[in-house]
Structures are given as structure tokens and as C-alpha cells.
């Protein structure tokens, strides 16, 4: 198993909470703000991405955060 250089999160919920906290605190000062969470095949953890989810992932992401 190859480890990544990105910050690993144990599950998508923890990663999403971190994403929201980072976006709220740094939206005005960072050029790239995290916008999505993805599962990494290299380290089997969850990471943040500044890219918006696309396709089926986008629909799942929208449904998960509708509450």
C-alpha cells in the first residue's frame, strides 16, 4: 500500500466536516477551497479536493448534503 501526501480522513463524514470548517474559515484568503471529498485507492483513506464532483458523484454528493 502506497501512502499519499494528502491529509487522510477515516471516513467521508469526517472529511466533509473538515471541508466545511476549512471553507468557512479560509474562503476569502485561499485561492483553492475544498469542494468535495473522495476515496483514495492508494491509501484507502478519504481526501479533500478543490474540484467540484462530476456526473454520478455530483448527484450523490448533492443528495448526501441536502438535509
pTM beyond cutoff 0.85 = no
All cell numbers assigned to 19: 471541508
7 occurs within a structural domain: no
At residue 36, the pLDDT reads 86
Q: Quick check: is 31 in a domain?
A: yes
Does some domain include residue 5? no
SS3 37: strand
Number of domains present in the structure of the chain: 1
The 8 Å CB, 24+ separation contacts for 54-62 are: 61/36, 61/37
Entry field: residues in the chain: 67
pLDDT tens digits, one per residue of 49-59: 988 777 766 65
Q: Is residue 16 part of a domain?
A: yes
Query: What percent of the chain is modeled with pLDDT above 70?
Result: 76
In this predicted structure, what is the pLDDT of residue 67? 42
Q: Which domain holds residue 32?
A: 12-64
Q: What is the pLDDT of residue 29?
A: 79
Higher-pLDDT residue of 36, 57: 36
Q: Are 12 and 39 in contact (CB under 8 A)?
A: yes
Amino acid at each position: 500500500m502506497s501512502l499519499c501526501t494528502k491529509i487522510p480522513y477515516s471516513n467521508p463524514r469526517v472529511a466533509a466536516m473538515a471541508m466545511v470548517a476549512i471553507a468557512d474559515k479560509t474562503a476569502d484568503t485561499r485561492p483553492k477551497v475544498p469542494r468535495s471529498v473522495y476515496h483514495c485507492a492508494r491509501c484507502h483513506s478519504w481526501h479533500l479536493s478543490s474540484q467540484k464532483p462530476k456526473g454520478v458523484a455530483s448527484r450523490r454528493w448533492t443528495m448526501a448534503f441536502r438535509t
